[in-house]
Amino acid sequence: MAVQLASNPRPIVAVVPVELCTSKGLSFSGPGTFLLGLASVTVPRVLGTYAIVIFAMLWVGFAMALVVNREWLDLLWNWVQALPSVAKIIVWVLFLPGMVGLWIWESSWPDLVRLLAFAGIVGWTLLAVSSFLRAVR
């Protein structure tokens, strides 16, 4: 846990069992407080917030590419397909919702079906991130 003392601007880092903290009546729930191990709450919230921001930027960028220049999506798809297999797998794993969106865009499906599938993957992303946030709170 990191404890901020008024006289010392640097945090003091120590690993203390959560049971010891609660049995002594100590509460470390202020900003910047990290209980390492069992009671970490701040870190998952920060990671969840970053996940929402990253996926929002991904989908906003995708929508902007659709509006401004659809050829950008084709270039991105072709670039990913030209990667070596290991790099391609890493890109697919890291950016799965976006890659599925690109795959949907590059498919030969009718426009209405592509639109519905695209809306479904965006909705799935939002549900997955919000479920993750609820699980860590």
Backbone dihedral region for residue 32 (phi beyond 0: left; psi -120 to 50: alpha; all else: beta): left
Torsion angle in degrees (nearest 10) through CA of 128, 129, 131, 135: 130
The SS3 of residue 81 is helix
Q: What is the mean pLDDT of residues 100-124?
A: 90
Question: What's the pTM value of the predicted model, to 2 decimals?
Answer: 0.59
Residues 63 and 117 occupy one common structural domain: yes
Q: What is the mean pLDDT of residues 16-28?
A: 52
User: In this model, does residue 120 exceed pLDDT 50?
Assistant: yes
Which residue range is the domain that position 17 belongs to? Answer: 1-40
Residues 49 and 86 occupy one common structural domain: yes
Residue pair 34/1 in contact (Cβ under 8 Å)? The answer is: yes
Tens digit of each residue's pLDDT (9 = 90 or more) over 26-50: 555 544 444 444 445 566 666 677 7
Q: Long-range contacts: 30-33, Cβ < 8 Å, 24+?
A: 30/4, 32/2, 32/4, 33/1, 33/2, 33/3, 33/4
Residues 102 and 58 occupy one common structural domain: yes
H-type alpha helices, 18-70:
18-23, 42-68
- In this prediction, residue 99 carries a pLDDT of 93
Strands (E), 1-137: 2-3, 12-13
Residues 97 and 84 occupy one common structural domain: yes
Residues 2 and 51 occupy one common structural domain: no
**In terms of DSSP bridges, do strands 12-13 and 2-3 run parallel, antiparallel, or are they unpaired?**
antiparallel
Residues 69 and 125 occupy one common structural domain: yes
Domain count, the chain: 2
Residues 36 and 46 occupy one common structural domain: no
Residues 80 and 119 occupy one common structural domain: yes
